[in-house]
């Protein structure tokens, strides 16, 4: 004889939890209905809903662990203020960093993690990947800050732990090498040609990749001779308020002609993916790396002369200075532009 199946056993919910099916027959929302109190909405994810109830009852065995803090820091419905302000590429970077951090600290109570543990992690365990280690330290700092707000720790244990001292890259691709690489990309697959034209755009306009991957044709005003993009990495009131207006040069005009020639009528993106959608940062990065590795295999580039996509921004800045005598307005801090993007080996000035 089969037993009666009440709501709790049928749906795997905790006592006093309710599952409410929508009229579409697919969407289901959950809520907790305390005795004598008003229902508390828990969202549409059953696992997250159960976790929230366990937190309210103080029965979550993971409460206070670093993983517990991470889940609340990145919660889909009520994320931390810091997390909400991050751009998608930074969020992806932190998600990747968390996968590494979780292996060491994920199950530990955040209050038990001290500065010596963080220092050992950053400078010994992750010594082989200093740049990633610095990103992971930055994420740990944010998690400690959020843990203090949640009341599960009292000290940010990353304070006093020095990051790895990284030197800015000092080389930009030579013009002849870049031209050779871009010419090679023009005879590759259609998507590799798109990557090549995106690289050419970066070298001509100086925009960050995250600023033009979602560039659409309405932002390209060929009649006025300008391209408008939103400057990334602005904080506070200037966030998404600074518009970069790039004048279309003859070289950029030629590039736009080639992009227009391959444009499909139903696609509004200037640099479309295979499906005529916007490239994700990760998808574009993967394709770029494949292009570089294949170029090395074909002896177009070498391990010594290969360059990053971000080096193209430095290529633009360095060439701009050689042509005009001044660095372009690329960054909120002019000193940062000079330190990071000026790769010129010769500095010219007039004698008295």
Give me the residue label for tokens 């159960």. 50
Q: What is the CATH architecture assignment of 175-341? A: Orthogonal Bundle (1.10)
Instruction: List b or e across 334-351, with b for residues whose CB sees 16 or more CB atoms inside 10 angstroms.
Output: eeebeebbbbeeeeeeee
Average pLDDT over residues 67-87: 89
pLDDT of residue 212: 87
pLDDT of residue 239: 59
Indicate left, alpha or beta for 16 from its phi (over 0: left) and psi (-120 to 50: alpha).
left
- At 50-63, the pLDDT tens digits run 777 777 666 666 77
- What whole-number distance in Å separates Cα of residue 289 and Cα of residue 309? 9
Token pair of 279 as six digits? 């490239």
- Among the residue ranges 52-56, 91-95, 131-135, 278-282, the one predicted with the least confidence is 52-56
* Residue 5's pLDDT band (cuts 50, 70, 90): very low
Would you say residue 9 has pLDDT above 60? no
* Pair 327, 341: CB distance under 8 Å: yes
Is residue 154 classed exposed, middle or buried when 0-12, 13-18 and 19+ CB atoms within 10 A define those classes?
Answer: exposed
pLDDT of residue 2: 43
* Pair 53, 14: CB distance under 8 Å: yes
- What whole-number distance in Å separates Cα of residue 233 and Cα of residue 291? 27
User: 96-100 — which CB contacts under 8 Å span 24+ positions?
Assistant: 97/132, 97/135, 97/136, 97/139, 98/70, 98/139, 100/126, 100/132, 100/136
Most confident of 253-267, 268-282, 291-305: 291-305
> Which has more pLDDT, 191 or 45?
191
Cα separations in angstroms, 87 against 131, 140, 309: 19, 18, 19
Average pLDDT over residues 243-271: 90
Would you say residue 84 has pLDDT above 60? yes
* Pair 193, 287: CB distance under 8 Å: no
pTM: 0.70
* Pair 16, 59: CB distance under 8 Å: no
Rounded to the nearest 10°, the torsion over CA 66, 67, 68, 71 is 120
Token pair of 114 as six digits? 């001290």
Q: How many residues does the chain have?
A: 352
- At 10-44, the pLDDT tens digits run 457 877 788 888 888 788 888 887 877 788 887 88
Token pair of 45 as six digits? 């994810």
Looking at every residue in the chain, the average pLDDT score rounds to 87
Q: 61-166 has which fold? A: DNA polymerase; domain 1 (1.10.150)
**What percent of the residues of the chain are helix, what percent strand, and what percent coil, each to the nearest 5?**
50, 10, 40
- At 131-183, the pLDDT tens digits run 999 999 999 999 999 999 988 899 999 999 999 988 777 788 999 999 999 99
Nearest to 196 by CA among 211, 212, 208, 179: 179
* Residue 284's pLDDT band (cuts 50, 70, 90): very high
- Return the ∠ at Cα 227 (arms to 223 and 228), rounded to 5°: 125
- At 207-254, the pLDDT tens digits run 988 888 889 999 999 999 999 988 876 555 655 568 889 999 999 999
């Amino acid at each position: 004889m089969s037993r009666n199946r009440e709501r709790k056993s049928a749906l795997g919910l905790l006592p006093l939890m309710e599952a409410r099916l929508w009229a579409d027959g697919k969407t289901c929302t959950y809520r907790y209905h305390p005795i004598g109190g008003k229902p508390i909405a828990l969202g549409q994810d059953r696992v997250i809903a159960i976790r929230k109830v366990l937190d309210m009852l103080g029965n979550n065995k993971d409460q206070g662990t670093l993983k517990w803090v991470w889940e609340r820091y990145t919660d889909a419905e009520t994320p931390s203020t810091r997390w909400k302000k991050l751009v998608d590429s930074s969020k992806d970077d932190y998600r990747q960093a968390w996968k590494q951090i979780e292996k060491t600290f994920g199950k530990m109570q955040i209050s038990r993690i001290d500065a010596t543990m963080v220092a050992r992690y950053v400078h010994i365990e992750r010594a082989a990947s200093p740049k990633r280690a610095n990103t992971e330290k930055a994420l740990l700092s944010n998690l400690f800050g959020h843990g203090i707000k949640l009341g599960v720790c009292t000290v940010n244990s990353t304070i006093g732990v020095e990051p790895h001292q990284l030197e800015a890259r000092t080389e930009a691709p030579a013009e002849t090498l870049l031209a050779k690489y871009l010419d090679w990309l023009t005879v590759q697959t259609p998507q590799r040609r798109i990557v090549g034209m995106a690289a050419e755009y970066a070298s001509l306009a100086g925009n960050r990749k995250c600023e033009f991957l979602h560039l659409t044709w309405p932002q390209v005003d060929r009649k006025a001779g300008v391209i408008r993009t939103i400057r990334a990495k602005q904080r506070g009131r200037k966030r998404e308020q600074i518009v970069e207006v790039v004048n279309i040069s003859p070289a950029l005009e030629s590039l736009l002609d080639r992009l227009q020639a391959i444009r499909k009528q139903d696609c509004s993106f200037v640099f479309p993916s295979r499906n005529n959608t916007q490239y994700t940062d990760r998808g574009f990065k993967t394709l770029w790396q494949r292009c570089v590795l294949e170029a090395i295999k074909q002896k177009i580039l070498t391990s010594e002369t290969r360059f990053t996509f971000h080096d193209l921004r430095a290529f633009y800045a360095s060439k701009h200075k050689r042509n005009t005598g001044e660095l372009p307005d690329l960054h909120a801090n002019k000193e940062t532009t000079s330190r990071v993007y000026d790769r010129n080996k010769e500095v010219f000035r007039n004698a008295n």
